[in-house]
Amino acid sequence: MSRFALVDCNNFYVSCERMFNPSLEGRPVVVLSNNDGCAVARSNEAKALGIGMGAPVFTLAETLRRHNVACFSSNYALYGDMSRRVILTLGELVPDLEVYSIDESFLDLSSFREKDVPGLCGTIVTTVKRNTGIPVSVGVGPTKTLSKVAAGMAKKHPCLGGVCDVTDERWRERALAATPVGKVWGVGRRFEKFLKMRGIDTALDLARADRVMVKKRMGINGTRLLDELSGISCYPLETNPPAQKGVGVSRTFAAGIDDRRALCEALSTYAERAAEKLRTEELRAGLMEVSAMSNRFQRDTFYYNTAVVRFPAPTSDASEMIKGALSAFDGIYRENVPFKKLGIHLRELSPESEQQLLLFDAVDRDRSASLMKALDAVNTAMGKRTLGYASSGLSEPKAWRTRFNHKSPSYTTCWDDILRVF
């Protein structure tokens, strides 16, 4: 029988902040989204105050002040590096690993003897904590979905020591009965509402629900979900993740912007960034979609539009991307609309190695490739945006700049920010 483990970092972003700032232990801590807009990670103390996932900061002002909650802007450099360290540690402990997200990895434990599993899981918890400072929960079960349920149990009940195994039928039933249906992997807000209306409140109810009804409303993933909850594995471990399908860069502005020049600067910056992402993945894009919207919370005046550009040949050249983005934006820009968010999405990605040559190409591909190589080399060696395009704006400060008013130092990725011990 298959056996999976899910290793889930506890309150990951908060744990990263605490690792370099131990005075945060025991204090309520939240980490905010871009623009310091929403709470996207909360310490247990913050959760206990009723601060919900994704809660807008302006609705929390009173709670944050009254309970002296520590707030941090997202520090992606720090979290990305800490995630890498956790994954490295896991890789030393188990052979088969699927990195599922920045703070979760699935492990295939099928090759381990049953009696060795508890010891291994305990070792994972202590080793990751010792090597990285990050506390993790480990859930074990015969399917990925059940290992997620188990990890939820491990997190909720500290008495379990961070590990919960639901391989055994009786434990599985208890865990499923204690898991609200909305917490099940694959059940989002809509499906939760639908299921609850039919009296399906827990994961156990769902496991026993009518298959036809679930198939009809939730599609093929619904029946897979029922199988997974019953111990029939539908999702194997993906050790070699499939190629990425798209690349996106989008940002919300702190306030609405109608100045065309500023908007073009922002869009140009996103195009540069998107092209850079492509190049690090050694990919090229055949198509770009530019999107622009006003404040989506003002429904009566809401404006949203997209425009698509097809490149003559797949490309990752920044200047081609910028030109494409700005010309597409021409078609969707509206005067006097306060734009709140612009974005660029690249699709139809293909590996650099599979490049098709055009018979009549307006772009000198060799020249472009060496220019991008030089650009990336400078920015890697000397810091992001040391070298960039004038169309992305030269003057500071920029009205469209994302707000990060509470950012901690990049302790592990920036020499100037390295922790000093006196």
Partner DNA sequence: TCTGGGGTCCTAGGACCC
Site residues for DNA per CB under 7 A = 33-35, 37-38, 40, 54, 56-58, 100-104, 148, 184-192, 219-221, 242, 244-252, 254-256, 277, 295, 297, 340-341, 343, 345, 402
- Nearer Cβ to DNA, position 62 or 416? 62
- Nearer Cβ to DNA, position 339 or 411? 339
Distance (Å, whole) CA 184 – CA 147: 11
Residue 264 · residue 326 · CB < 8 Å: yes
Strand ranges of the sheet holding 39-42, from the earlier edge strand across to the other edge: 39-42, 29-32, 70-72
Query: Smallest gap, in angstroms, from Cβ of residue 122 to DNA?
Result: 23
- Nearer Cβ to DNA, position 148 or 284? 148
- Nearer Cβ to DNA, position 365 or 406? 406
Count of beta carbons in the 10 Å neighbourhood of residue 356: 9
- Nearer Cβ to DNA, position 185 or 329? 185
Which of these, 394, 289, 400, lies nearest to 341 by C-alpha position? Answer: 400
DSSP 268-315: HHHHHHHHHHHHHTTEEEEEEEEEEEE-TT-GGG--EEEEEEEEEEEE
Query: Smallest gap, in angstroms, from Cβ of residue 116 to DNA?
Result: 27
Query: Smallest gap, in angstroms, from Cβ of residue 33 to DNA?
Result: 3
- Going by the DSSP 8-state scheme, the letter that residue 407 receives in this structure is P
Place of tokens 């703070």: 103
- Nearer Cβ to DNA, position 168 or 238? 238
Distance (Å, whole) CA 280 – CA 274: 10
Q: Is 148 helix (H, G, I), strand (E, B) or coil?
A: helix
Torsion angle defined by CA atoms of residues 69, 70, 71 and 74, in that order, rounded to the nearest 10 degrees: -140
Query: Smallest gap, in angstroms, from Cβ of residue 220 to DNA?
Result: 4
**Percent helix, strand and coil across the chain, each rounded to 5?**
45, 20, 35
Query: Smallest gap, in angstroms, from Cβ of residue 167 to DNA?
Result: 20
- Nearer Cβ to DNA, position 127 or 221? 221
Cα Dmax for the chain: 69
Distance (Å, whole) CA 24 – CA 15: 9
Query: Smallest gap, in angstroms, from Cβ of residue 12 to DNA?
Result: 7
Question: Residue 255 is encoded by which pair of tokens?
Answer: 């306030």
Query: Smallest gap, in angstroms, from Cβ of residue 248 to DNA?
Result: 3
- Nearer Cβ to DNA, position 191 or 311? 191
Query: Smallest gap, in angstroms, from Cβ of residue 35 to DNA?
Result: 5
Amino acid at 356: Q
For the packed helices 220-229 and 211-218, what is the interaxial angle rounded to 10 degrees?
A: 130
